[in-house]
Amino acid sequence: MARSGLAGAARVARWADAALGPGRTGATADGKATLSAASARRAADELGLTTAQVRAEWDTARLAGLIEVHGDSARPGWRLRAWDRDDSAVLRGWVALFDAWSLACPEPDGQEAAAVAEVVSAMPQVLSFLQLSAGPVPVEQLLDLLGQRVTELRTERCEVPYDPQLEPAGPPAHATGPGAAGTEDVPRASPAALAPLLDWALRALASVGALTYGDGQATLTPLGSWAVWVKLEQICVAAQSPAGNIEQAAEDMLRGCAQLRPNAARAEYRAWLAARPVGSAITELLGAARGEDALLRGLAFEALRVVGAPAEPEVRAVLDEPALRPYALLWLAEHDGVDPEDAHEVLTREEATWLWVDTAAAVADHGESPMLVRHLESALQPTVPALLDEVRAVGHPRTVQVLVALAAAHPDPALAKAVRRAAFQVHRGGS
């Protein structure tokens, strides 16, 4: 359903990528991502559509993240690049359109911005009711529910009635001071005031494929029902944050997950991700990965594995950063379907050695001595002298500290002496 509903938008987005991509001009004329008249006519001629259809699909493509406009050029979003091979990209594109339903259709003329905002804020509860009803619901029932929710929103703000269209929710309270108001003073929007806004909301949601609307009733489509269920599930997941780190910044959340078992940590990552926009979450996680703590670097990429496909462009963008490159290469290999046990094969010997040192730094900072000794056994190099030669060559900033910690932890005096000598040579800048 999502592919079918967005097929026209994907077609226009692909046309824009070819005709209006970087190095070409003419995408927009007003600096607001509105397709220029000349480009709309050109697209209509080449795609066999009317200019109105082109503009509608262009707007849908932008809302679904299939096309990104920069100045007067257009480029494909990551969802369009992954369109043919990744069903989750298609679903996420449709959910982005669903989330932007209030932009899909213009609101009725003459409506106060505050009233429109209240209806947009109240619609998730209306959609949840439609989802739980699992069938057609009369518009009158939805109108009553919308009125109740708008009244609740106003109660939270404790507004004083001022609009003649508003009916008082009850007898006036006894004010105790200027502007004082009790819950009885909260205005309740009349059905006549809300009806055109509910009609607009239902028509907008129908236009994006979330529901069907007609004959005085509304019904969620299977796709709309799925989307609402996923959002309800995300709310539940976020509310059940196992270790209570949901409110923390990425760095503190990752530290809180350091002592958890893998399954518990993944549950915490899911809860943390469910509580914030995916784009800002990815930015936060990569920011934590750039820090000095190697343990957080590894955990950040574990959390990015939970994010999945939406993180691909940002992960690919850090391949030029030496400290993140090995982690990013492994992430991308696993994302492309490589078995995690074989993913290390995508690393060069130098990258694998860098990763070994970085992981050893995490163990030295947060683990116990036996763990560091066991980590020595995981090195690719067949002998300790070969490992020391390659460790010195990669130039990891934590090399000296790792070698000193390893020398202190290893029970073999001769090997510990060789490692200490290597640490001293690195410290003095020798080879």
Q: What is the pLDDT of residue 418?
A: 79
Does position 172 have pLDDT exceeding 50, yes or no? no
pLDDT, tens digit, for every residue of 24-43? 555 555 555 678 888 899 99
Question: Residue 254: pLDDT band by 50, 70, 90 thresholds?
Answer: very high
Higher pLDDT, 28 or 59: 59
Question: Residue 230: pLDDT band by 50, 70, 90 thresholds?
Answer: confident
Tell me the pLDDT of the chain averaged across its residues: 83
- Give dist(CA 151, CA 167) in Å, integer: 11
Q: What is the full DSSP assignment across 248-280?
A: S-HHHHHHHHTTS-HHHHHHHHHHHHHTS-HHH
Ranges 77-86, 103-112, 150-159, 266-275: which has the least confidence: 150-159
Of 325, 344, 319, 321, the C-alpha closest to 334 is 344
pLDDT, tens digit, for every residue of 210-220? 999 999 999 99
Question: Residue 23: pLDDT band by 50, 70, 90 thresholds?
Answer: low
Higher pLDDT, 173 or 49: 49
* Other beta carbons less than 10 A from residue 368's beta carbon: 11
The mean per-residue pLDDT over the stretch 369-373 comes to 79
Which run of H or of E encompasses 375? helix 369-377
Question: Residue 177: pLDDT band by 50, 70, 90 thresholds?
Answer: very low
Q: What is the pLDDT of residue 242?
A: 60
pLDDT, tens digit, for every residue of 60-84? 998 898 988 776 667 788 788 888 8
- Give dist(CA 16, CA 70) in Å, integer: 12
Ranges 53-57, 287-291, 420-424: which has the least confidence: 420-424
Percent of the chain with pLDDT over 90: 37
| Cβ neighbours of residue 115 closer than 8 Å, sequence gap 6 or more | 189, 193, 197
Side-chain half-sphere exposure of 284, counting CA atoms within 13 A: 18
Does position 283 have pLDDT exceeding 90, yes or no? yes
